[in-house]
């Protein structure tokens, strides 16, 4: 189903000033002695598709509820469109929201669900009909207006929830993991549809998810959260290639981790003692970490940055280590290698089209990487490690 009919979009897009900015300043939320959010700052520009990404319990849903006004912050301020929202109940904020379980009104028809907010605003019947029609067309449900909610499929319900919120032309649409209950196929369809609608309408979307792939696919910007703090706020490519710390690097994409210890810092070079000896890495690989001699660190390598060479290959300018291929797995366009290098297990990803030149499982090889691709992190603190199921 084509998600957004162009004419419908043209009618639905409001003549808009730069509505939809969010400013969060020093926002904290605590329940009794339990701190859920501690002092967040965040500025979202109007028209951005921003995703709050993090493991469960990181505070992303709490932040969403604070923006919605269901709960009040313990400290700090939230402003929407430059207006302070303190003390305003949800019904007085310029927001829309799509709930995780959608929260469609089961005793209303599809049309009545979409019309509800307009009725509350006393929109004249004629205009109301037109708007409901326009937005149902926008989400591709124009023909199902008189259905009961119970007669819809999961994806259709999703679209009703979206239309119901968008018809009110909110400055900001909050989406609380709305796709999590759907199967993969439908989920992918709706991710595209959602992104397309957002781009056309220019409404600010604040989308909560714990799925990093979903976040990367849809967002203009991602807020990575953990333990009640914002770890990083940036574009998806920046978050992947320039993660602020080890948590972000591990949460967004796959990462090989090699434990080490800082041996010394000379100019732009960091000397690190790894399991296989000392290596000199450029200081540009430091990620939010100022190295002190003897401090433990983690060298991080993305799987696609590891090249696999024959054992006798020449690899000048690169760091090479002897290793063995444990497994070679074909995953469509890519090959996934599990390698062993001493005690260390590494994952490498190469293009399947280069497969002929690459060793088979069981073969000895040379593992190589460019020192500039190595990232140097501070090891995770215990609570953050726990969210990856690791023992510190």
Partner 1 sequence: MTANPKLSTWAGILLLISLPAPILIIIGASFSDTSYIQFPPEGLSLRWYRDALFDPRWPRAFAISVGIAAVTAVIVTIVNFMAAYYTQRHAPKLATWLELAIFSPLFFPHAAMGVAMVALVAQFGLIGTAPGIVLAHLIVTLPFSYRPIHIALRSLDPDLVRAANVMGASEWRALKDIVIPMCRSGILTSLLFAGIISFDEVTVTMFLIGPNISTLPVQIFSFVQDSATPVLAAISTISVLITFLAVIILDRVAGLTFFVRHDGA
Partner 2 sequence: MTETQPASPAKALLLLPVLVLLGLFFASVFQLFSNGFADADGWSLRYFRQILNRSDYQVIFARTILSSLTVALLSVALSYPIALLLWRLERWRNTLLIVVLVPWLVSLVVRTYGWLVLLGPKGVINGMLAWTGIIEQPLALMFNDLGIIIGLTHVLIPFAVISILSSLLAIESNLEEASGVLGASRFQTFRRIVLPLSLPGAFTALIVIFLASIGAIVTPIVLGGMSHQFVGSQIYQEVMYTFNLNKAAAWSICLLAISFLSLLLLKAIERRLIGTLE
> Do 360 and 325 form a contact (C-beta atoms < 8 A)?
yes
The residue from 10, 103, 192, 381 that contacts partner 1 (CB under 8 A) is: 103
Buried-state track 52-87, b at ≥16 Cβ within 10 A, e below 16: bbbbebbbbbbbbbbbbbeeebeebebebbeeebee
Structure tokens at 88: 């305003």
Report the alpha-carbon distance of residue 284 to residue 268 in Å, rounded: 8
Length of the chain: 392
Choose the one of partner 1, partner 2, none that binds residue 155, judging by a C-beta under 5 to 8 angstroms depending on kind: none
Choose the one of partner 1, partner 2, none that binds residue 240, judging by a C-beta under 5 to 8 angstroms depending on kind: none
Report the alpha-carbon distance of residue 100 to residue 102 in Å, rounded: 5
Choose the one of partner 2, partner 1, none that binds residue 71, judging by a C-beta under 5 to 8 angstroms depending on kind: partner 2
Q: Does 71 bind partner 2 (CB under 8 A)?
A: yes
Looking at residues 82 to 111 of the shown chain, list those that interact with partner 2 (rule: CB under 8 A): 89
Structure tokens at 10: 């043209």
Looking at residues 40 to 79 of the shown chain, list those that interact with partner 1 (rule: CB under 8 A): 68, 70
The residue from 116, 242, 347, 363 that contacts partner 1 (CB under 8 A) is: 116
φ, ψ at 362 (rounded to 5°)? 95, -20
Q: In Å, what is the CA distance from 281 to each residue of 74, 286, 293, 358, 371? A: 44, 9, 14, 26, 5
> Do 227 and 264 form a contact (C-beta atoms < 8 A)?
no
Please name the helix (run of DSSP H) or strand (run of DSSP E) that holds residue 335, with its range, or none.
Answer: strand 334-341
Least distance CB 97 / partner 2 (angstroms): 14
Question: In terms of DSSP bridges, do strands 269-274 and 344-351 run parallel, antiparallel, or are they unpaired?
Answer: unpaired
Least distance CB 178 / partner 1 (angstroms): 12
Choose the one of partner 1, partner 2, none that binds residue 105, judging by a C-beta under 5 to 8 angstroms depending on kind: partner 1
Report the residue number, 204 or 226, with the smaller CB distance to partner 1: 204
Size of the site for partner 1 (CB under 8 A): 24
- Enumerate binding residues for partner 2 (CB under 8 A): 70-71, 89
Query: Which residues make up the interface to partner 1 (CB under 8 A)?
Result: 68, 70, 89-91, 93, 95-97, 99-101, 103-107, 116-117, 120-121, 164-165, 168
């Amino acid at each position: 189903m084509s998600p957004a009919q162009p004419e419908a979009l043209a009618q639905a897009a409001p003549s808009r000033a730069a509505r939809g900015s969010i400013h969060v300043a020093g926002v904290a939320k605590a329940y009794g002695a339990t701190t859920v959010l501690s002092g967040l700052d965040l500025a979202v520009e109007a028209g951005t598709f921003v995703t709050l990404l993090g493991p469960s319990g990181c505070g992303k849903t709490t932040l969403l509820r604070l923006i919605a006004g269901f709960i009040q912050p313990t400290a700090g301020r939230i402003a929407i469109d430059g207006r302070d929202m303190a003390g305003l109940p949800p019904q007085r904020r310029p927001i829309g929201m799509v709930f995780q379980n959608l929260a469609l009104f089961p005793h209303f028809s599809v049309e009545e669900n979409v019309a509800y907010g307009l009725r509350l605003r006393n929109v004249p019947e004629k205009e109301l009909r037109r708007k409901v029609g326009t937005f149902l067309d926008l989400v591709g449900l124009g023909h199902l207006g008189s259905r009961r909610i119970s007669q819809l499929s999961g994806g259709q319900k999703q679209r009703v929830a979206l239309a119901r919120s968008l018809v009110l032309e909110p400055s900001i649409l909050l989406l609380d993991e709305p796709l999590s209950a759907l199967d993969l196929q439908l989920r992918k369809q709706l991710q595209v549809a959602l992104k397309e609608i957002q781009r056309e309408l220019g409404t600010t979307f604040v989308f909560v998810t714990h799925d990093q792939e979903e976040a990367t696919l849809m967002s203009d910007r991602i807020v990575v959260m953990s333990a009640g703090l914002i770890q990083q706020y940036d574009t998806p490519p920046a978050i992947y290639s320039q993660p602020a710390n080890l948590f972000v690097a591990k949460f967004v994409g796959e990462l090989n981790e090699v434990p080490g210890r800082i041996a010394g810092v000379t100019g732009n070079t960091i000397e690190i003692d790894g399991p296989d000896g000392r290596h000199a890495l450029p200081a540009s690989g430091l990620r939010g970490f100022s190295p002190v001699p003897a401090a433990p660190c983690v060298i991080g390598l993305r799987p696609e940055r590891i090249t696999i060479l024959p054992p006798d290959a020449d690899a000048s300018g690169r760091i090479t280590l002897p290793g063995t291929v444990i497994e070679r797995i074909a995953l469509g366009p890519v090959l996934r290698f599990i390698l062993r290098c001493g005690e260390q297990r590494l994952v490498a990803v190469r293009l399947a089209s280069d497969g002929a030149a690459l060793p088979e499982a069981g073969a000895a090889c040379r593992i190589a990487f460019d020192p500039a691709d190595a990232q140097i992190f501070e090891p995770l603190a215990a609570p953050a490690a726990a969210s990856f199921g690791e023992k510190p």
